[in-house]
Amino acid sequence: MKIRSEKGFTGIDIAVSVVIMFIFISVVAMLVYQVNSTSKRIELKSDAIYIAINSIEQAKINGIEGYEGKTGKIETDKEVSGTQGYYRTITVKDYKEIVEEEKGVAAAQNIEENVVKKVTVEISYMFQGQKQSVELSTILSKEN
């Protein structure tokens, strides 16, 4: 009796190896996409934080005198110069307004205006079709 020698690959062997390679390549591609996406998200957020810090530092340089008589949103969704896709909103609140919101009008009656102000800078940008933002605040006061 002659035993037939089995040399070569069968169709099932090839099909299984193709499926395994397809799964492996898909997993690797997904991991590469996630790494790139996370890297881009971190890069955009760090740029936004850098812009917000510069805006806060500029507010500190201007001092409270730069915001004399100003309250509310003094700059709304203005594109930051020198950048593309980053928009700045600056909101100024007088300490008296903050106390009124938190404790009521009666608590804020004896507080003098334009002595202490809270300046909030919000930097917004788009990432994967969604609006993202970074917000920083500082307190400015008059020097005695």
Q: Which domain holds residue 100?
A: 11-141
> Does residue 113 lie in a domain region?
yes
| Environment class of 21 (CB within 10 Å of its CB; exposed 0-12, middle 13-18, buried 19+) | exposed
> Does residue 1 lie in a domain region?
no
Per residue in 20-62, pLDDT (tens digit) is: 999 999 999 999 999 999 999 999 999 999 999 999 999 999 8
How far CA 135 is from CA of 30, 35, 60, 69, 79, in Å, comes to 32, 26, 16, 23, 15
Q: How many domains does the structure of the chain reveal?
A: 1
Rounded distance, CA 86 to CA 75, Å? 13
User: Which of 2-6, 65-69, 85-89, 128-132 is least confident?
Assistant: 2-6
- What integer is the mean pLDDT of 120-127? 95
> Does residue 55 lie in a domain region?
yes
> Does residue 3 lie in a domain region?
no
> Does residue 78 lie in a domain region?
yes
| Environment class of 138 (CB within 10 Å of its CB; exposed 0-12, middle 13-18, buried 19+) | middle
> Does residue 6 lie in a domain region?
no
> Does residue 37 lie in a domain region?
yes
> Does residue 126 lie in a domain region?
yes
Per residue in 66-119, pLDDT (tens digit) is: 888 787 888 888 888 888 899 999 999 988 888 888 887 777 777 777 788 999
